[in-house]
């Protein structure tokens, strides 16, 4: 028995003579949150369509809780939130979610509770045609919460949401994962997924070029850490001369160092004593790692 609820092996897709996906392997375990990153056209949406069974694979194999994409078992186990949700505008939020609950066999679903959970409690009986884009996105998230899915596929889930609603959405994603749902999030919002996912997978032109935790990807990339030394009054030139760093806005000195040099640099700066007022350390961020792994020439 494996805890890999979503298993993808050698997934490939040809559209005419263009290969949009090439031998992609990816696993998502129960309770795991995986971010799927890549430029427009990298293959993220194509991969999700393959998982959903909306388009046939040219090669490879996908299993959702042991079932083939598009099968009744796979559909029951999977929830999907597209980037641009579309609902019948004449129905109210309550009517729409009630309909989806009946279709999914959730006869005892707490419709009011679900809509309140996504911030639509006050709009429960308002027609969906009067909802803003962000409200429709939250209604789509309520649909995802129906039926306790084994796998949740979220394509740009924060599209159209304000900052507070974005925080609420990731809190709900955390709840889904805590309840054992395998969550795959396709997103361009790097700052958000950096803090709220367990693993990062990056596609470039249909090829998976990275798949690991943020810490492991950072260590493998060997990208530099930035140290900003805030100098005591009149000491910036001395610190710059001793460290070989660059002066920044008159009172600070910026130093870059590799992962294996960080502690040596910190000890050297600490030995400067009263000339140093403060030290700020900035490790590589997900944006830096994304640029590194998604650039041309990497395999």
pLDDT above 60: residue 298: no
Cross-strand partners of 220: none
Mean pLDDT (the chain) is 90
Instruction: State whether CATH 3.40.50.300 applies to domain 4-219.
Output: yes
Domain ranges of the chain: 4-219, 224-283
pLDDT above 80: residue 297: no
Question: What is the sign of the dihedral through the CA atoms of 125, 129, 134 and 140?
Answer: positive
Overall CATH class of domain 224-283: alpha beta
| Whole-number Å distance between alpha carbons of 89 and 9 | 39
> Which contiguous run of DSSP H or E holds residue 168?
helix 163-178
**3-state SS class at 188:** coil
Query: 6: which DSSP letter?
Result: E
| Whole-number Å distance between alpha carbons of 87 and 114 | 17
**3-state SS class at 55:** coil
**3-state SS class at 132:** coil
Tally Cβ neighbours within 10 Å of residue 24.
Answer: 23
Whether the Cβ atoms of residue 158 and residue 189 lie closer than 8 Å to each other: yes
pLDDT of residue 285: 87
| Whole-number Å distance between alpha carbons of 75 and 217 | 33
pLDDT above 80: residue 160: no
pLDDT of residue 2: 52
What would the pLDDT profile of 55-110 be if each residue is shown by its tens digit? Answer: 999 999 999 999 999 999 999 999 999 888 889 999 999 999 999 998 888 878 89
């Amino acid at each position: 028995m494996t805890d890999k609820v979503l298993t993808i092996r050698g997934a490939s897709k040809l559209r005419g003579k263009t290969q949009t996906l090439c031998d992609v392997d990816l696993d998502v375990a129960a309770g795991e949150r995986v971010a799927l990153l890549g430029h427009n056209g990298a293959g993220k949406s194509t991969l999700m369509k393959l998982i959903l069974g909306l388009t046939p694979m040219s090669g490879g194999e996908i299993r959702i809780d042991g079932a083939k994409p598009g099968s009744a078992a796979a559909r029951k186990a999977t929830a999907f939130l597209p980037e641009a949700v579309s609902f019948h505008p004449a129905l109210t939020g309550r009517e729409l979610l009630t309909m989806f609950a009946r279709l999914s066999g959730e006869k005892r679903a707490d419709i009011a509770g679900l809509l309140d959970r996504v911030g639509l409690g006050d709009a429960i009986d308002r027609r969906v045609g009067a909802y803003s884009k962000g409200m429709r996105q939250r209604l789509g998230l309520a649909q995802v919460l129906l039926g306790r899915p084994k796998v949740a596929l979220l394509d740009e889930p924060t599209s159209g949401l304000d900052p507070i609603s974005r925080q609420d959405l990731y809190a709900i994603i955390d709840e889904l994962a805590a309840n054992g749902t395998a969550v795959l999030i396709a997103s361009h919002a790097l700052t958000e997924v950096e803090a709220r996912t367990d693993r990062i997978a990056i596609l470039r032109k249909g090829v998976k070029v990275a798949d690991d935790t943020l810490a492991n990807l950072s260590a493998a990339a060997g990208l530099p850490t930035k140290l900003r030394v805030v100098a005591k009054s009149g000491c910036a030139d001395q610190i710059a001369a001793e460290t070989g760093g660059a002066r920044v806005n008159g009172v600070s000195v910026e130093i870059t160092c590799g992962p294996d040099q960080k502690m040596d640099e910190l000890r050297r700066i600490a030995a400067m004593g009263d000339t140093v007022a403060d030290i700020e350390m900035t490790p590589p961020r997900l944006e830096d790692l994304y640029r590194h792994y998604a650039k041309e020439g990497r395999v």
